[in-house]
């Protein structure tokens, strides 16, 4: 049996039914990951011994007649900005290269309770700042569809791991598109839940009003299954919402009959790859053929989203990353001879160029005399962006857009042009600014065989409708059943 072709739901069901042992599943995926990762470089570290111990605990529970949980024996890859007890949490940065977490993030606690098995920590752009995973302090992750190209970012390692079938599920974080954009470039499903739906406790903060943890998977059903485990209020996170958690999987069979799909005219722009535009419009036509109605909507402040994001996110990053100063933990420069030099040298040597760029941008925007002109004004425009979505959702149930303006680009192609790199997230950023749920899924391929992503945006805390639309489209199309090269 080729275990890598099974869905997470199938693996969990077979483990609970004793048709598979969790140990065999874990060993199979670890062996596959160790082999293929020499090429893909999705992982920063592997947890072989701990993973096999977790798998053995699942098998013991099954043998004793106990239900190990909805993810019984399912291997999960974890983005390396999430704390897992006893493992390094580096954020792909030299400044945290030797930091070992001494507690679990809330999502990790929930995954343990659900019977999941953690096989390793995945690569990312340093401190989740980037769109290509080229900003990692350690190495660049490669796209499984074409290893000369990037997997997207910042959660590129998690997206590549799922696309290459090195893990059935993975966790990522999304601040401006860092789950959805790599999901699109790697041809998998990636979901950014509503802000507050999933606890951020134990996630190393980038921009606290934007960050959200979410799933990667090969199917919409698996994304719903994983979100079911992750979602819920957490008293350890003050931004965690006290809202009921519905049965996400129950929404998968609802279909789209009568569903109102919005198509925002501002998301089909000059400079977008024509193949991306055609594939997304064809996807919307497919939804229409399944019973949905399509209506053009306007989100007039969309063009301000990128500017707003690159004031707010760096400002919050500047504050959040101030703690990395060589005092309590992390890298400390050996050159320092005074406390001031310790701060200066440790941060200069420990942070990479993109992180420094964003810290400087944010510090400037928050500085005396500039706060009102930049940060405060950006927050006001952010409100206008949210109001655009509020008005649009008065007449539609979901909004369909491209996830990214192009398919995966060559490694190094945009490294020397930060603005072009930032434009990779032009269609995903507004979702974070408005706190909405957003899902990316494959909707076709370019002429040279690269995946294209469809983005579905929903009302706050209405992931159910997003899942219903995504599942209906997935069942009517073949895209998620086409494996990448390593399969």
pLDDT tens sequence across 151-194: 999 999 999 999 999 999 999 999 999 999 999 999 999 999 99
Q: Does 318 qualify as catalytic in the annotation?
A: no
CA distance readout (Å), 103 to 86, 206, 399, 429:
8, 19, 38, 31
Sign of the Cα torsion 319, 323, 324, 330 reads negative
9 three-class SS: helix
Residue 368 banded pLDDT, cuts 50, 70, 90: confident
Q: Where are the beta strands (DSSP E) in 250-377?
A: 260-264, 293-297
Burial class (CB in 10 A: 0-12, 13-18, 19+), 186: buried
CA distance 347 to 365: 20
CA distance 62 to 14: 11
Q: Does 79 qualify as catalytic in the annotation?
A: yes
Mean pLDDT of the chain: 96
Q: Model-level pTM greater than 0.95?
A: yes
> Residue 486: what pLDDT?
57
In sequence order, the β-bridge partners of residue 418 are none
pLDDT tens sequence across 94-143: 999 999 999 999 999 999 999 999 999 999 999 999 999 999 999 999 99
- With contact defined as beta carbons under 8 Å apart, do 179 and 169 qualify? no
Q: Does 154 qualify as catalytic in the annotation?
A: yes
User: What are the backbone dihedrals phi and psi of residue 211, each rounded to the nearest 5 degrees, phi first?
Assistant: -60, 140
Exactly one of 154, 158, 240, 249 is catalytic; which is it?
154
Sign of the Cα torsion 374, 377, 382, 385 reads negative
Residue 485 banded pLDDT, cuts 50, 70, 90: low
Exactly one of 14, 21, 41, 79 is catalytic; which is it?
79
pLDDT tens sequence across 374-433: 999 999 999 999 999 999 999 999 999 999 999 999 999 998 888 889 889 999 999 999
Class of domain 3-257: alpha beta
CA 234 to chain centroid: 20
CA distance 253 to 383: 35
Dihedral Cα 5, 476, 424, 154, nearest 10 deg: -30
- With contact defined as beta carbons under 8 Å apart, do 32 and 165 qualify? yes
Exactly one of 132, 136, 178, 240 is catalytic; which is it?
178
- With contact defined as beta carbons under 8 Å apart, do 148 and 132 qualify? no
């Amino acid at each position: 049996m080729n275990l890598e072709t099974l869905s997470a739901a199938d693996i969990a069901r077979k483990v609970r039914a004793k048709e598979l042992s969790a140990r065999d599943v874990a060993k199979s995926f670890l062996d596959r990951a160790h082999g293929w990762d020499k090429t893909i470089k999705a992982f920063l570290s592997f947890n072989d011994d701990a993973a096999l111990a977790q798998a053995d605990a699942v098998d013991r529970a099954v043998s004793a007649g106990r239900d190990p949980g909805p993810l019984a024996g399912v291997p999960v890859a974890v983005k390396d900005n999430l704390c897992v007890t006893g493992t390094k949490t580096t954020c792909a940065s030299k400044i945290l290269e030797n930091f070992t977490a001494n507690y679990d993030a809330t999502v990790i606690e929930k995954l343990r309770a659900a019977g999941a098995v953690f096989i390793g920590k995945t690569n990312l752009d340093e401190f989740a700042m980037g769109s290509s995973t080229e900003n990692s302090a350690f190495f660049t992750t490669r796209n499984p569809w074409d290893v000369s190209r990037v997997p997207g970012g910042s959660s590129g390692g998690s997206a590549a791991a799922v696309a290459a079938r090195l893990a059935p599920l993975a966790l990522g974080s999304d601040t401006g598109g860092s789950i959805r954009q790599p999901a699109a470039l790697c041809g998998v499903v990636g979901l950014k839940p509503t802000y507050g739906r999933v606890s951020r406790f134990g996630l190393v903060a980038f921009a606290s009003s934007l960050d959200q943890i979410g799933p990667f998977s090969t199917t919409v059903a698996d994304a719903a299954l994983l979100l079911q485990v992750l979602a819920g209020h957490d008293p350890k996170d003050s931004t965690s919402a006290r809202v009921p958690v519905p049965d996400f999987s129950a929404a998968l069979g609802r279909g789209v009959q009568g569903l109102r799909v919005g198509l925002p005219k501002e998301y089909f722009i000059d400079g977008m790859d024509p193949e991306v535009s055609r594939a997304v419009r064809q996807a919307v036509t497919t939804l229409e053929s399944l019973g949905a109605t399509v209506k053009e909507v306007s989100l007039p402040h969309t063009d301000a989203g990128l500017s707003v994001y690159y004031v707010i996110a760096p400002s919050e990053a500047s504050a959040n990353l101030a703690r990395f100063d060589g005092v309590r933990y992390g890298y400390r420069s050996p050159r320092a001879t005074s406390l001031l030099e310790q701060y200066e040298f440790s941060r200069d040597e420990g942070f990479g160029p993109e992180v420094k760029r964003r810290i400087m941008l944010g510090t400037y925007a928050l500085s005396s005399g500039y706060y009102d002109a930049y940060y405060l004004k950006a927050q006001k425009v952010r409100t206008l962006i949210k109001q655009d979505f509020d008005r649009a959702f008065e007449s539609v149930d979901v909004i369909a857009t491209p996830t990214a303006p192009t398919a995966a680009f060559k490694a190094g192609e945009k490294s020397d042009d930060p603005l072009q790199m930032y434009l990779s997230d032009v269609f995903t950023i507004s979702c974070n600014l408005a706190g909405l749920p957003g899902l990316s899924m494959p909707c076709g391929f370019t002429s040279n065989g690269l995946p294209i992503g469809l983005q579905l945006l929903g009302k706050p805390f209405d992931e159910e409708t997003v899942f219903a639309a995504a599942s209906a489209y997935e069942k009517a199309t073949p895209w998620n059943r086409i494996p990448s090269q390593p399969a």
